[in-house]
Amino acid sequence: MDILTNLALGFSVALTPFTLMLAVIGCFLGTIIGALPGLGPSNGVAILIPITFTMGLDATSALVLMTAVYYGAMYGGRISSILLNIPGDEPALMTTLDGYPMAKQGRAGDALVISGVASFVGAFLATIGLMLLAPLLAGITYRFGPPEYFALYMLAFCTLGGIASNNQAKAAISACIGLGIAMIGLDNTTGMPRFTFGNMHLMDGVDFLVAIVGLFAISEVFVFIESHGQSTSIGVRLKKVTVPVRDILASGWTMLRGSLVGFIAGVLPGAGASLGSFLAYMSEKAIAGDKAGFGTGNPKGVAAPEAGNNAAAGGALVPMLTLGVPGSGTTAVLLALLMTLNITPGPTLFAEKPDVVWGLIASLLIANFVLLAMNVPMVKLFVRILQVPPHVLLPGVTMVSFVGIYSLSGSYFDLLMMVGFGLLGWALRKLDVPTVPIILGILLGNNMEDSLRRAMVLSDGDWTYLFSSPISIGLWIAAVVGFVAPIFLRPFLRRPQAITD
């Protein structure tokens, strides 16, 4: 058994005291990040990357820490959904639908425990799925040449823009902004400067970390200043927390189905955890029928989206690790981490650095148990952290962002760019333009151009070469469908409105 020997290798890496400690710290930080409204998984991971980088952790340790934060944030998002009716992060939106009504009926503790267990089931099954599927997919990607990679990048932009946004043209503009920014700097092939306008600071290009922290973290400050910190309503009180065994057992199948739906949604490039929790909730609602009372505080309505959300989070790691194509905003940030650490995701990662991959998978398995322990018995601790007011939290996030980016380069120019990206992110969010495609564009732009140029060198300038293999034709078709189909499906996939008091 290949997998067992690989897992043994993974656990030998993950069970060292230092790695274990990092996993626990990551889980703790992640749950806080997920729970605090205004600090979601993408900006939480984003502001931590520069700091882990300057701390000089090696690749495995940094990855273990950050993926533990990522998993933790997915667990934590539900806490403020249930108690405050404010999703701590975007995928937790669906959890507010039944979680907040449950809390208002005095069952906040039950909702937290059920959703915690559902999160565990989803994340655990997804990690197993990742373990089984990722090596298989890595084997297939050995056959990918430059034209297939180019088509794959197109697919990522198309599905991300198609599914995760309300307006195709705006998503495409966003992707173009990112790709356009990626072109700044020295041309990889010829070594000549492009779009630097004679500015020395732009010769190395725009650091993607600067863009990520600006777009995700700094823009949040502007959003809060605009809303004047209105969303600080303290919701329901949490009483004694007990384990509602009967509800958990009754929603067992719901959790399993939610995990499966979520995992599939997560593996699809561009879909991510929000779609996973949405589909899991909607399919359970359809199975249960109208009489089940979804939306009025049904425990299954809490279990389904949380299982789906966490399974999708694990599923999204599959394309990120095997293809280097992130499936969501947060995995885009994790890809940025890999690139900072000089790790190239893809089939070679599995062949050449098995200790990194399997150490990561083993750590994720361990992190799940740690998170279950933190999120069920210790949930009260995190509820207390929710009471940090925004006027302390957001300046704190800003200062951490500044220090992180400043310690990377020590240049005020990067800080100014970061502030600029923050303002851009705020304006784009007002205009309903998604910002994740910008990040994807900056991350993938150079690889995308390189694969196009390599393909053209191989074919001596024949553009039909891009569509010459069955794999690339399949990817192109999927890209077009992924971009166009949501236009027609949108009337049917309308998100239910969050309940208001």
Closer residue to other proteins (CB): 379 or 397: 397
The phi-psi region of residue 167 (left if phi > 0; otherwise alpha if psi is between -120 and 50; otherwise beta) is: beta
CB-based contact 440:434 (threshold 8 Å): no
Cβ nearer to other proteins, comparing 369 with 412: 412
Beta strand ranges found along 193-312 (DSSP E): 193-194
> Cβ-count burial of 354 within 10 angstroms (0-12 exposed, 13-18 middle, 19+ buried)?
middle
Least separation in angstroms between CB 483 and other proteins: 12
In 3-state terms the chain splits into helix, strand, coil percentages (rounded to 5) of: 75, 0, 25
How many residues are there in the chain?
A: 501
* Closest distance to other proteins from the beta carbon of 322 (Å): 25
Least Å from the CB of residue 453 to other proteins:
5
Closer by beta carbon to other proteins, 10 or else 40: 40
Residue among 451, 149, 94, 39 at smallest CA distance from 307:
94
Q: Which is nearer to other proteins, 104 or 170 (CB)?
A: 170
CB of 41 to other proteins, least distance (A): 21
Query: Where do we find the tokens 């274990």?
Result: 20
CB of 154 to other proteins, least distance (A): 11
Q: What is the DSSP letter of 292?
A: G
Binding site for other proteins (CB under 8 A): 51, 54-55, 166-167, 169-170, 172-173, 176-177, 179-180, 183, 187, 189-195, 218, 221-222, 224-226, 228-229, 389-392, 394-396, 398-400, 402-403, 406-407, 410, 412, 415-416, 418-419, 422-423, 426, 430-433, 448-449, 452-453, 456-457, 460-461
Closer by beta carbon to other proteins, 15 or else 403: 403
Nearer to other proteins, 208 or 263 (CB): 208
Q: Which is nearer to other proteins, 125 or 439 (CB)?
A: 439
State the virtual CA torsion across 353, 358, 364, 366 in degrees, nearest 10.
-130
129 or 425: CB nearest other proteins: 425
- Read off φ and ψ for residue 39, nearest 5 degrees: -140, 85
Per DSSP bridges, beta strands 193-194 and 185-186 are antiparallel
CB of 270 to other proteins, least distance (A): 17
Of 82 and 86, the one with the shorter C-beta distance to other proteins is 86
Using an 8 Å Cβ cutoff, are 127 and 372 in contact? no
Residue 64 CB, shortest distance to other proteins, in Å, is 17
**If you compute the radius of gyration of the chain from its CA atoms, what whole number of angstroms results?**
22
Classified as helix, coil or strand, 185 is: strand
Alpha carbon distance 20, 10 (integer Å):
12
Which residue, 474, 391, 429, 14, is CA-closest to 224?
391
Q: What is the 3-state secondary structure (H, E, C) of 385-426?
A: HCCCCHHHHHHHHHHHHHHHHHHHHCCHHHHHHHHHHHHHHH
- Residue 75 to residue 434: CA distance in whole angstroms: 24
**Tokens for 300?**
């299954």
Residue 410 is classified by DSSP as -
Of 143 and 391, the one with the shorter C-beta distance to other proteins is 391
CB of 447 to other proteins, least distance (A): 12
CB distance 265 to 271 below 8 Å: yes
Nearer to other proteins, 17 or 198 (CB): 198
Give me the least distance between CB of 181 and other proteins, in Å please: 10
Q: For the CB of residue 195, give the shortest distance to other proteins in the complex, in Å.
A: 6
Structure tokens belonging to residue 34:
């997920």
Closer Cβ to other proteins, 22 or 371, answer by number: 22
Long-range contacts of 402-409 (CB under 8 A, 24+ apart): 403/51, 404/47, 404/48, 404/49, 404/50, 404/51, 404/54, 404/209, 404/213, 405/50, 405/209, 405/210, 405/213, 407/50, 407/51, 407/54, 408/50, 408/53, 408/54, 408/207, 408/209, 409/207
